[in-house]
Structure 1
Amino acid sequence: MNEITERKSWWNRNRKWISLFIIILIPIVTFFSLTGDATFRYGSAHMQPGLIKNAYEMANKNEIVSQKLGQLSEYNFLRLIEGDVLYDNNGNTVYITVNLLGTKKKGKLDIYAHQNGEKWEYQKVIVRIKKPRKETIKIFEK
């Protein structure tokens, strides 16, 4: 018996893989095009957890912050994503805003730091409260 086998085209042989690739690629490209370099800024700040965590702990130990906001919940990366990160001076100065969630109220933690070699030095750490009225609590200022 002679069987004639028909060879499928490249597209027909690889259609399901190409479709899968496109389904995955489009959301990724869309995400990065909409967020710009924000993803990398947040990632950079998160890669230096001591910078945020130490300021967070300073705020949590402050008596005025405890009175106004209550006990702060633990810091996590999602709090950073809800905030903002800006680098300046060729990446040697960072301005970070992290949302704070206390047992009584919410607030924002502003961190201004400058990198000296491998180490970050705080220039200013501030807690901001909006409600019932705007209030600023200085945690650290150089």
Structure 2
Amino acid sequence: MDTKALIAAYYDAFNAGRTEEMLTYLHDEVEHHVNEGGIRRGKEKFCEFNAHMTESYKERLTDIVIFANEAGDRAAAEFVVNGTYLQTDEGLPEAKGQTYVLPAGTFFTIRDGKIARVTTYYNLADWMRQVSA
């Protein structure tokens, strides 16, 4: 599978809520760099993060554009997050089913045909404004 197809399959699984399938696209030693957070290493930590996100947020990504370098070992995706805040996340405003629309992007490193790094960025202040309105 080429790099763009790999990233597309990863996001297709995300949008369909198939978090177990997402894991199949990840390298065993994946590093997940969370927006304004730490680095989670390994599929188990990625799985824990996904479980938490599924409890607190319902999100669908639209307008996905995927980029990859010629070597196929680095990629990026730009998209819009269309979400609903379901359950209060620690340190964040109270969840009351607020909806949000947020531009975001992710950078990837590909190794051995799998995603070895996921680094996601979005504007947290914009998200806070939307869910606090």
TM-score range, shorter chain: 0.3 to 0.5
Specify the structure having the higher radius of gyration (Cα): 1
Structure of higher RCO (CA pairs closer than 8 Å, 6+ residues apart): 2
Could you say which structure has the higher helix fraction? 1
Normalized per residue, the structure richer in strand is 2
**TM-score normalized by structure 1?**
0.39
